[in-house]
Amino acid sequence: MIKLFSLKKQQKDGEQNPRAGQQKKASAAQLRIQKDINELNLPKTCAVEFPEPDDLLNFKLIICPDEGFYKGGRFVFTFRVGPNYPHEPPKVKCETQVYHPNIDLEGNVCLNILREDWNPVLTINSIVYGLQYLFLEPNPEDPLNKEAADVLQTNRRLFELNVTKAMRGSYVGDTYFECCLK
């Protein structure tokens, strides 16, 4: 049987002495991200790093595609999970400058589940697979980098050459890309 009076007394004691038995409560976002991370099922082409091991709300995802245009590259994404997660998607940016129709030169990512199609039942795993899919099948129909999208639609071979040049560390047009080969 729960003793309500002793619980009330403990609560009062806690109010009078705020340090007594003080344990920081985990937020809903922290609890959910912990669950998502525990259930992560990363493909062999992906890895997760936590710069601050105690901070699960900020981490990096590394994608190293093993097929497609971006094979052999190493692309780093930062995830910032806000206090309204899972009701709002995490903020995801690509730290690696990449010649890609769905990633602009500032690292913004055009992935429907990070914007209008986000749903609280989606997980970090969903985002990982979505990002990986962008490297396997770039989508020129919904571009952030319109120039790359135009080249992909009109001259697939030139697009492939531009991706290779960018990944090796070279200029594509007026933009210099750092080498991102692993």
Known catalytic residues are 110
**83-118 CB burial, b ≥16 within 10 A, e <16:** eebbeebbebebebbbbbbbbbbebebbbeebeeeb
d(CA 42, CA 40): 6
Minimal CA–CA distance to 79: which of 125, 133, 42?
Answer: 125
Long-range CB contacts (within 8 A, 24+) of 65-72: 65/132, 65/135, 65/136, 67/136, 68/135, 68/136, 68/137, 69/135, 69/138, 69/159, 69/160, 69/163, 70/98, 70/100, 70/135, 70/163, 70/167, 72/167, 72/181, 72/182
